[in-house]
Amino acid sequence: MKLLADRRRHPMALVALLLVGLLLTGGAYALFTQTSSAKADTASASDIEEGKKLFAANCATCHGMNAEGSKAGPGLIGVGAAAVDFQVGTGRMPLQANGPQARVKEPQFDEEQTAQLAAYVASLGPGPAVPEDEYLDASKGDPAAGGGLFRTNCAMCHNVVGSGGALTRGKYAPNLAEVSEKHLYEAMQTGPQNMPIFNDANLTPDDKRDVIAYVKEVSDNPSPGGFKLGSLGPVAEGLFIWFFGLAAVIGLTVWLSSRSK
Protein backbone atom coordinates (compact mmCIF):
# COMPACT_ATOMS: atom_id res chain seq x y z
CA MET A 1 0.00 0.00 0.00
CA LYS A 2 2.88 2.32 0.73
CA LEU A 3 4.09 1.94 -2.82
CA LEU A 4 0.68 3.09 -4.21
CA ALA A 5 0.37 5.96 -1.80
CA ASP A 6 3.81 7.20 -2.73
CA ARG A 7 3.11 7.25 -6.41
CA ARG A 8 -0.38 8.66 -6.38
CA ARG A 9 0.91 12.03 -7.51
CA HIS A 10 2.91 10.50 -10.34
CA PRO A 11 1.98 12.09 -13.76
CA MET A 12 1.09 8.63 -15.11
CA ALA A 13 -1.36 7.94 -12.23
CA LEU A 14 -4.25 9.68 -13.98
CA VAL A 15 -3.63 7.74 -17.18
CA ALA A 16 -3.49 4.47 -15.29
CA LEU A 17 -6.70 5.29 -13.43
CA LEU A 18 -8.51 6.18 -16.66
CA LEU A 19 -7.30 2.96 -18.25
CA VAL A 20 -8.58 0.88 -15.35
CA GLY A 21 -11.95 2.67 -15.41
CA LEU A 22 -12.39 2.24 -19.15
CA LEU A 23 -11.50 -1.42 -19.00
CA LEU A 24 -13.98 -2.02 -16.21
CA THR A 25 -16.94 -0.25 -17.84
CA GLY A 26 -16.17 -1.75 -21.23
CA GLY A 27 -15.95 -5.22 -19.75
CA ALA A 28 -19.20 -4.79 -17.85
CA TYR A 29 -20.94 -3.48 -20.97
CA ALA A 30 -19.75 -6.43 -23.03
CA LEU A 31 -20.90 -8.79 -20.28
CA PHE A 32 -24.37 -7.27 -20.11
CA THR A 33 -24.98 -7.04 -23.83
CA GLN A 34 -23.86 -10.60 -24.21
CA THR A 35 -26.36 -11.85 -21.64
CA SER A 36 -29.25 -9.84 -23.13
CA SER A 37 -28.57 -10.96 -26.68
CA ALA A 38 -28.30 -14.51 -25.50
CA LYS A 39 -31.69 -14.13 -23.84
CA ALA A 40 -33.42 -12.80 -26.94
CA ASP A 41 -31.84 -15.43 -29.12
CA THR A 42 -33.41 -18.55 -27.68
CA ALA A 43 -32.97 -20.46 -30.91
CA SER A 44 -29.97 -22.73 -30.88
CA ALA A 45 -27.43 -22.96 -33.66
CA SER A 46 -28.75 -26.39 -34.58
CA ASP A 47 -32.29 -24.99 -34.96
CA ILE A 48 -30.96 -22.40 -37.36
CA GLU A 49 -29.02 -25.09 -39.23
CA GLU A 50 -32.11 -27.31 -39.50
CA GLY A 51 -34.18 -24.30 -40.52
CA LYS A 52 -31.70 -23.46 -43.23
CA LYS A 53 -32.03 -26.97 -44.69
CA LEU A 54 -35.84 -26.80 -44.60
CA PHE A 55 -35.68 -23.38 -46.19
CA ALA A 56 -33.40 -24.52 -49.00
CA ALA A 57 -35.69 -27.48 -49.73
CA ASN A 58 -39.08 -25.76 -49.47
CA CYS A 59 -38.82 -22.01 -49.77
CA ALA A 60 -35.70 -21.13 -51.74
CA THR A 61 -37.31 -21.66 -55.17
CA CYS A 62 -39.24 -18.42 -54.79
CA HIS A 63 -37.50 -16.59 -51.94
CA GLY A 64 -33.91 -17.27 -53.15
CA MET A 65 -31.21 -19.51 -51.67
CA ASN A 66 -30.24 -16.82 -49.16
CA ALA A 67 -33.77 -15.44 -48.74
CA GLU A 68 -32.77 -12.49 -50.87
CA GLY A 69 -35.99 -12.78 -52.89
CA SER A 70 -36.60 -13.30 -56.59
CA LYS A 71 -39.18 -12.40 -59.19
CA ALA A 72 -41.44 -15.08 -57.77
CA GLY A 73 -41.31 -14.08 -54.12
CA PRO A 74 -40.20 -11.28 -51.79
CA GLY A 75 -36.92 -11.21 -49.88
CA LEU A 76 -37.26 -12.37 -46.28
CA ILE A 77 -34.28 -10.67 -44.68
CA GLY A 78 -35.58 -8.70 -41.70
CA VAL A 79 -39.19 -9.96 -41.75
CA GLY A 80 -38.55 -11.66 -38.41
CA ALA A 81 -39.70 -14.87 -36.79
CA ALA A 82 -43.26 -13.59 -36.30
CA ALA A 83 -43.87 -13.36 -40.06
CA VAL A 84 -42.58 -16.90 -40.66
CA ASP A 85 -44.58 -18.30 -37.75
CA PHE A 86 -47.74 -16.68 -39.15
CA GLN A 87 -47.28 -17.61 -42.81
CA VAL A 88 -46.10 -21.19 -42.23
CA GLY A 89 -48.14 -21.80 -39.07
CA THR A 90 -51.45 -20.94 -40.82
CA GLY A 91 -50.49 -23.00 -43.89
CA ARG A 92 -50.41 -19.96 -46.19
CA MET A 93 -46.78 -20.78 -47.02
CA PRO A 94 -45.42 -22.72 -48.84
CA LEU A 95 -47.69 -21.41 -51.56
CA GLN A 96 -49.39 -24.11 -53.63
CA ALA A 97 -50.61 -22.01 -56.51
CA ASN A 98 -50.32 -18.44 -57.66
CA GLY A 99 -53.40 -16.32 -57.10
CA PRO A 100 -54.50 -12.96 -55.84
CA GLN A 101 -53.86 -14.11 -52.29
CA ALA A 102 -52.31 -17.06 -50.39
CA ARG A 103 -55.03 -19.24 -48.90
CA VAL A 104 -55.17 -20.81 -45.46
CA LYS A 105 -54.63 -24.55 -45.65
CA GLU A 106 -53.45 -27.46 -43.49
CA PRO A 107 -49.96 -26.44 -42.26
CA GLN A 108 -47.24 -28.35 -44.09
CA PHE A 109 -44.73 -28.24 -41.22
CA ASP A 110 -45.15 -29.20 -37.58
CA GLU A 111 -44.51 -26.77 -34.77
CA GLU A 112 -40.86 -27.73 -34.37
CA GLN A 113 -40.10 -27.31 -38.06
CA THR A 114 -41.96 -23.99 -38.12
CA ALA A 115 -39.86 -22.80 -35.20
CA GLN A 116 -36.68 -23.92 -36.97
CA LEU A 117 -37.64 -22.06 -40.14
CA ALA A 118 -38.51 -19.01 -38.06
CA ALA A 119 -35.17 -19.23 -36.26
CA TYR A 120 -33.30 -19.36 -39.57
CA VAL A 121 -35.14 -16.37 -41.07
CA ALA A 122 -34.78 -14.42 -37.81
CA SER A 123 -31.02 -15.08 -37.91
CA LEU A 124 -30.77 -13.30 -41.28
CA GLY A 125 -31.72 -9.89 -39.94
CA PRO A 126 -33.53 -8.29 -37.02
CA GLY A 127 -37.33 -8.37 -37.20
CA PRO A 128 -40.36 -8.87 -34.97
CA ALA A 129 -40.12 -12.00 -32.81
CA VAL A 130 -42.90 -14.44 -32.00
CA PRO A 131 -45.00 -12.63 -29.34
CA GLU A 132 -44.70 -13.48 -25.67
CA ASP A 133 -47.55 -15.41 -24.06
CA GLU A 134 -48.30 -12.48 -21.75
CA TYR A 135 -49.71 -10.49 -24.68
CA LEU A 136 -51.76 -13.37 -26.06
CA ASP A 137 -53.95 -13.91 -23.02
CA ALA A 138 -57.33 -12.54 -24.07
CA SER A 139 -58.61 -12.70 -20.48
CA LYS A 140 -56.10 -10.00 -19.49
CA GLY A 141 -57.20 -7.68 -22.30
CA ASP A 142 -60.01 -5.13 -22.25
CA PRO A 143 -62.55 -6.09 -24.94
CA ALA A 144 -64.31 -2.71 -24.78
CA ALA A 145 -61.11 -0.76 -25.47
CA GLY A 146 -60.16 -3.35 -28.07
CA GLY A 147 -63.53 -2.83 -29.75
CA GLY A 148 -62.77 0.87 -30.23
CA LEU A 149 -59.37 0.07 -31.73
CA PHE A 150 -60.85 -2.69 -33.87
CA ARG A 151 -63.56 -0.44 -35.30
CA THR A 152 -61.01 2.26 -36.13
CA ASN A 153 -58.20 0.12 -37.51
CA CYS A 154 -59.58 -3.26 -38.55
CA ALA A 155 -63.35 -3.22 -39.12
CA MET A 156 -63.27 -1.56 -42.54
CA CYS A 157 -61.74 -4.70 -44.07
CA HIS A 158 -62.46 -7.46 -41.54
CA ASN A 159 -66.12 -6.46 -40.80
CA VAL A 160 -67.19 -5.02 -37.47
CA VAL A 161 -67.21 -8.42 -35.73
CA GLY A 162 -64.33 -9.85 -37.75
CA SER A 163 -66.31 -11.89 -40.28
CA GLY A 164 -64.05 -10.76 -43.13
CA GLY A 165 -64.88 -9.08 -46.42
CA ALA A 166 -63.90 -8.55 -50.04
CA LEU A 167 -61.03 -6.38 -51.27
CA THR A 168 -59.97 -5.37 -54.78
CA ARG A 169 -59.36 -7.79 -57.61
CA GLY A 170 -60.03 -11.12 -55.92
CA LYS A 171 -58.30 -10.38 -52.63
CA TYR A 172 -60.16 -10.61 -49.35
CA ALA A 173 -59.81 -9.99 -45.64
CA PRO A 174 -60.27 -13.34 -43.89
CA ASN A 175 -62.74 -14.24 -41.15
CA LEU A 176 -61.04 -13.87 -37.76
CA ALA A 177 -63.26 -16.14 -35.65
CA GLU A 178 -61.09 -19.25 -35.96
CA VAL A 179 -57.70 -17.50 -35.90
CA SER A 180 -55.55 -18.24 -32.84
CA GLU A 181 -54.44 -15.45 -30.49
CA LYS A 182 -50.83 -15.84 -31.57
CA HIS A 183 -51.63 -15.57 -35.27
CA LEU A 184 -53.89 -12.55 -34.66
CA TYR A 185 -50.99 -10.82 -32.90
CA GLU A 186 -48.46 -11.76 -35.56
CA ALA A 187 -50.75 -10.57 -38.35
CA MET A 188 -51.08 -7.12 -36.75
CA GLN A 189 -47.33 -7.02 -36.13
CA THR A 190 -46.12 -8.10 -39.56
CA GLY A 191 -48.91 -7.15 -41.98
CA PRO A 192 -49.12 -10.35 -44.04
CA GLN A 193 -49.80 -9.96 -47.75
CA ASN A 194 -51.81 -6.78 -48.31
CA MET A 195 -52.71 -6.09 -44.69
CA PRO A 196 -51.06 -2.90 -43.41
CA ILE A 197 -48.52 -3.24 -40.61
CA PHE A 198 -49.56 -2.13 -37.11
CA ASN A 199 -46.21 -1.82 -35.36
CA ASP A 200 -45.80 -1.32 -31.61
CA ALA A 201 -45.76 2.47 -32.02
CA ASN A 202 -49.20 2.37 -33.62
CA LEU A 203 -50.83 -0.37 -31.53
CA THR A 204 -48.81 -1.14 -28.41
CA PRO A 205 -48.59 -4.79 -27.27
CA ASP A 206 -51.30 -3.97 -24.70
CA ASP A 207 -53.48 -2.49 -27.46
CA LYS A 208 -52.97 -5.63 -29.53
CA ARG A 209 -54.04 -7.76 -26.57
CA ASP A 210 -57.18 -5.62 -26.23
CA VAL A 211 -57.95 -6.17 -29.91
CA ILE A 212 -57.48 -9.93 -29.47
CA ALA A 213 -59.78 -9.84 -26.43
CA TYR A 214 -62.46 -8.09 -28.53
CA VAL A 215 -62.19 -10.56 -31.41
CA LYS A 216 -62.45 -13.51 -29.00
CA GLU A 217 -65.36 -11.87 -27.15
CA VAL A 218 -67.47 -11.35 -30.26
CA SER A 219 -66.64 -14.66 -31.90
CA ASP A 220 -67.09 -16.85 -28.80
CA ASN A 221 -70.35 -15.36 -27.53
CA PRO A 222 -73.71 -16.35 -29.03
CA SER A 223 -75.65 -13.63 -30.76
CA PRO A 224 -78.56 -12.33 -28.61
CA GLY A 225 -80.66 -11.67 -31.70
CA GLY A 226 -80.81 -15.22 -33.02
CA PHE A 227 -79.11 -16.49 -36.16
CA LYS A 228 -76.10 -14.42 -37.19
CA LEU A 229 -76.24 -15.49 -40.85
CA GLY A 230 -72.46 -15.21 -40.86
CA SER A 231 -72.59 -11.65 -39.41
CA LEU A 232 -72.20 -10.43 -42.97
CA GLY A 233 -74.77 -7.68 -42.59
CA PRO A 234 -77.20 -6.58 -45.30
CA VAL A 235 -75.99 -9.00 -47.98
CA ALA A 236 -76.75 -12.21 -46.09
CA GLU A 237 -79.82 -10.77 -44.38
CA GLY A 238 -81.19 -9.36 -47.64
CA LEU A 239 -80.64 -12.65 -49.42
CA PHE A 240 -82.45 -14.51 -46.64
CA ILE A 241 -85.48 -12.22 -46.69
CA TRP A 242 -85.63 -12.24 -50.52
CA PHE A 243 -85.64 -16.00 -50.70
CA PHE A 244 -87.53 -17.09 -47.61
CA GLY A 245 -89.48 -13.98 -46.62
CA LEU A 246 -90.75 -13.24 -50.12
CA ALA A 247 -91.51 -16.92 -50.77
CA ALA A 248 -93.64 -16.98 -47.60
CA VAL A 249 -95.48 -13.79 -48.63
CA ILE A 250 -96.19 -15.14 -52.12
CA GLY A 251 -97.31 -18.48 -50.71
CA LEU A 252 -99.73 -16.84 -48.28
CA THR A 253 -101.11 -14.59 -51.02
CA VAL A 254 -101.79 -17.55 -53.30
CA TRP A 255 -103.48 -19.39 -50.45
CA LEU A 256 -105.56 -16.34 -49.48
CA SER A 257 -106.97 -15.90 -52.97
CA SER A 258 -107.50 -19.55 -53.78
CA ARG A 259 -110.99 -21.05 -53.74
CA SER A 260 -111.88 -23.30 -50.88
CA LYS A 261 -112.79 -26.87 -51.76
Partner 1 sequence: MTSKEHSGGGSQLEELNGFTNPGLPEHTPRLADTDPRAEKVAERQVAGWFILSMIGTIWFIVAYFLFTPGESMQSIRLHNMFVGLGAAVAMFSIGFGAVLWAKNLMSDHEGIDERHDIGGSEEDQAVALEILHQAKEESGIARRPLLRNTLIAALAIAPLPAVLVFRDLGPLPGDKLFNTLWQKGTRLIRDPGGIPSMDSERPIKADEVTIGSAYHVLPSGIGDHEASDHPINEKAKAAVLLMRIDPKELKEDPDRKDWSHDGIVAYSKICTHVGCPVALYEHQTHHLLCPCHQSTFDVTEHCKVIFGPAKRPLPQLPITVDSEGYLVAQSDFPEPVGPTFWEINHP
Q: From the CB of 148, what's the least distance to partner 1, in Å?
A: 3
Q: How far apart are CA 112 and CA 120, in angstroms?
A: 12
Cβ closer to partner 1: 167 or 241? 167
The residues of the shown chain that bind partner 1, judged by CB under 8 A, are 147-149, 151-153, 156-157, 165, 167-169, 171, 173, 191, 193-199, 201-202, 221-226, 255-256, 260-261
Q: From the CB of 221, what's the least distance to partner 1, in Å?
A: 4
List Cα–Cα distances, 139 to 134, 135, 181, in angstroms.
10, 10, 11
Q: From the CB of 26, what's the least distance to partner 1, in Å?
A: 29
Q: Comparing C-alpha atoms, which of 42, 40, 119 is closest to residue 81? A: 119
Cβ closer to partner 1: 86 or 198? 198
Cβ closer to partner 1: 17 or 246? 246
Residues in Cβ contact with 133 at an 8 Å cutoff, skipping those fewer than 6 apart = none
120-140 core/surface letters (b: 16 or more CB in 10 A; e: else): bbbbbeebbbbbeeebbebee
Cβ closer to partner 1: 141 or 165? 165
148-158 core/surface letters (b: 16 or more CB in 10 A; e: else): ebbeebbbebb
Q: From the CB of 91, what's the least distance to partner 1, in Å?
A: 20
- On whether the CB atoms of residues 213 and 146 are closer than 8 A, the answer is yes
Q: From the CB of 71, what's the least distance to partner 1, in Å?
A: 15
Cβ closer to partner 1: 109 or 237? 237
